[in-house]
Amino acid sequence: MHQFDVLIIGSGLAGLTLALKIADDKKVCLICKRGLHDASSNWAQGGIAAVLTDDDSVEAHILDTLIAGAGLCDGEVTRQVVEHAKKLVEWLIEQGVPFTREDDDSGYHLTREGGHSHRRIIHAADATGHAVQTTLAEKVRVHPNITLLEEHIAVDLITSRKIAPSEAEGNGVCLGAYVLDNHSGKVITISADHTVLATGGAGKVYLYTTNPDVSTGDGIAMAWRAGCRVANMEFIQFHPTCLYHPQAKSFLISEAVRGEGGILKLPDGTRFMLDHDPRGELAPRDIVARAIDFEMKKRGIECVYLDITHKPADFILSHFPTIYRRCMELGIDITRQPIPVVPAAHYSCGGVMTDHTGNTDLPRLYAVGETACTGLHGANRLASNSLLECMVFGQAVADAIKSAPDYQKHALPDWDESRVTDADEEIIITHNWNELRRFMWNYVGIVRTNKRLTRAMHRIHLLRDEVHEFYSNFRISNNLIELRNLLQVAELIVTSAMARHESRGLHYSKDYPETAEVAIPTVLEPSNYYSILDQHHGNGELAHEPTLP
């Protein structure tokens, strides 16, 4: 058994911020499934929203966030995040993050993104996440109080209820986690006074996503199995234009291409956006994504095309060098050929419910970043508020841990592999993963119907039964753990979507196209989950109460 003061599961901006904020006072273990840079934060192109100029205001940033959130933002949390933004951006500058400066070096260059009323996005060229991640990762690697375990994936949380069911009240408290070492294939036991879920989102539940491969909803699934509530899982943000190519691997085609005159076309060259919105290609992101989704489903096509070939080649090369270079690597000359694109799952606005300090329902367990549902994003995330939230709640959790009392140490049991054998057919995992991602894209994507959701839930439970049998009888692997978690998250997404009888923010239902007068969050609680499923499915066969530790 390994003993630490703080166990941080995940190495994105939320996890790195917390680690550096707490490591001078606590013994920290930071684990990540792959390398330290394999996190969604590293892929973030835009920047960090913060009020940094006199012509902007905290109140304006708050209002912009509330408008984007479509009535479901928590006002107090939104104020907390926005008011702390400037201080944490200054902290990043102190750490050495190379933000882009004005041409005359008079200050930092600020850009403006959709939904913002002012220029307030501080950035490092078009790769802000990479700049921030690289800077903080270097400091984490050399900090004497931080033990970094790469190629390690958390299997499940360890709770006092699991150790001594008769003595624990409710779900007990969190005591650490079981963690699979991908190098050795062995499961290790990590005991911690405080455990923090910073595992990112769940974009890999969909066929097309801008997320890295590690975004499999691990933290959400583990917290749910441990008895924590989750909220607003139906609100999945889709980016309209992701490069469609078998070797492209989640490459975004910036909205700036449309902003500079790019035209969306069908395979036969027909323009279609004006049939959906008078603003055409310059309509808001969710409208463009729904229009593309509609055309693909209606015509049975695999993608649409973004054409900017009518612009001079020099213009394209100077404005979009990164996109041009990446497309050329794949044999697409965007000065002569349209770009094949599809919408892609981009960000999960819901997650594990937390308070304003990052505490979950399970004592001594915290959630930060995209894993958490803090109340900031509501029904739709405002651009560039995600990296900001990571930092603000990383700081909040650090403060909460510092002020917490010391806890009694517990001897935790080792992982038991005495009744399992080596898997004989790993192809089952691959097949189920592919099936899940495809039907989630088709049935629980940008536009939803009751019929599609019911079909998706039926398939989820068929796959879940297969995976449960596999998990119970064979030694676990990284792929099996991720598939198990994705199926759990998929079930939560579908259940939440079924529960919302309206269209709001990122959730659009053809059966309920109107927006209700009162905005109510969707909160799922393990203890009454069966009744929720039964109520919204109207079909007892599909309702299975989850097994808690």
User: 291-310, pLDDT tens digit by residue?
Assistant: 998 999 899 999 999 999 99
If asked whether residues 334 and 435 sit together in one domain, one would say no
- Residue 220's pLDDT is what? 97
Residue 418 domain-assigned? no
Choose the final residue of a domain: 321, 343, 365.
343
Rounded mean pLDDT, 20-29? 96
Give the tens place of pLDDT for each residue, 86-100: 999 999 999 999 888
* pLDDT at residue 115 is higher than 60: yes
Question: Which DSSP helix (H) or strand (E) runs through 238?
Answer: strand 236-243
Question: Residue 426 — very low, low, confident or very high, per pLDDT cuts 50/70/90?
Answer: confident
If asked whether residues 438 and 532 sit together in one domain, one would say yes
- Residue 278's pLDDT is what? 87
CA–CA gap between residue 35 and residue 340 (Å, rounded): 30
pTM score over 0.85 = yes
CA–CA gap between residue 17 and residue 319 (Å, rounded): 33
If asked whether residues 537 and 435 sit together in one domain, one would say yes
What's the mean per-residue pLDDT of the chain? Answer: 89
- Residue 549's pLDDT is what? 30
Rg (CA), the chain: 23
Residue 496 domain-assigned? yes
Rounded mean pLDDT, 499-506? 95
Residue 294 domain-assigned? yes
- Residue 274 tokens read as 């004006």
CA–CA gap between residue 547 and residue 549 (Å, rounded): 7
Short-list 254, 316, 310, CA closest to 285: 254
Q: Are 488 and 224 in contact (CB under 8 A)?
A: yes
- Residue 170 tokens read as 């409710």
Residue 260 domain-assigned? yes
- Residue 537's pLDDT is what? 40
CA–CA gap between residue 71 and residue 358 (Å, rounded): 22
Cβ-based neighbour number of residue 530 at 10 Å: 14
User: Which residues lie below 8 Å from residue 295, measured CB to CB, with a gap of 6+?
Assistant: 266, 272, 301, 304
Rounded mean pLDDT, 98-106? 81
- Residue 529's pLDDT is what? 64
Question: Which of these ranges, 32-36, 438-442, 464-468, 534-538, has the smallest mean pLDDT?
Answer: 534-538
Residue 439 is part of a domain; what is its CATH number?
1.20.58.100
Choose the final residue of a domain: 318, 343, 368.
343
- Residue 6's pLDDT is what? 97
* pLDDT at residue 119 is higher than 90: no
Rounded mean pLDDT, 38-51? 76
Rounded mean pLDDT, 299-322? 91
* H helix intervals, 184-309: 218-225, 255-259, 285-299
Q: Are 414 and 165 in contact (CB under 8 A)?
A: no
Give the domain range for residue 509.
427-542
Q: Select the more confidently predicted residue: 279 or 83.
A: 83
- Residue 117's pLDDT is what? 86
- Residue 536's pLDDT is what? 45
- Residue 545's pLDDT is what? 30
- Residue 125's pLDDT is what? 75
Rounded mean pLDDT, 154-168? 84
* pLDDT at residue 320 is higher than 90: no
What residues act catalytically? Answer: 285
Domain count, the chain: 2
- Residue 43's pLDDT is what? 63
- Residue 528's pLDDT is what? 67
Choose the final residue of a domain: 343, 367, 386.
343
Q: Are strands 372-373 and 351-353 parallel, antiparallel or unpaired?
A: parallel
CA–CA gap between residue 510 and residue 503 (Å, rounded): 8
Rounded mean pLDDT, 400-415? 89
* pLDDT at residue 175 is higher than 70: yes
Residue 268 domain-assigned? yes
User: Which residues lie below 8 Å from residue 415, measured CB to CB, with a gap of 6+?
Assistant: 155, 178, 187, 188, 189
Give the tens place of pLDDT for each residue, 176-216: 999 999 999 999 999 999 999 999 999 999 988 888 889 99
Dump strand ranges (E) for 244-333. Answer: 263-265, 304-307
Residue 300 is part of a domain; what is its CATH number?
3.90.700.10
- Residue 417's pLDDT is what? 81
Rounded mean pLDDT, 504-523? 95
Query: HSE of 390 in the Cβ direction (CA atoms, 13 Å)?
Result: 32
Q: Select the more confidently predicted residue: 542 or 188.
A: 188
Q: Are 110 and 122 in contact (CB under 8 A)?
A: yes
Residue 212 domain-assigned? no
**372 Ramachandran zone, left/alpha/beta (phi>0; psi -120 to 50):** beta
- Residue 531's pLDDT is what? 52
Short-list 193, 496, 247, CA closest to 353: 496
Phi and psi of 304, rounded to 5°? -120, -175
Give the tens place of pLDDT for each residue, 237-253: 998 899 999 887 778 88
Residue 30 domain-assigned? no
Residue 509 domain-assigned? yes
- Residue 44's pLDDT is what? 62
Question: Which of these ranges, 177-181, 453-457, 466-470, has the smallest mean pLDDT?
Answer: 466-470
Query: What is the separation, in whole angstroms, between the first and last Cα of the chain?
Result: 20
Residue 128, exposed/middle/buried by CB under 10 A (0-12, 13-18, 19+)? buried
CA–CA gap between residue 7 and residue 131 (Å, rounded): 25
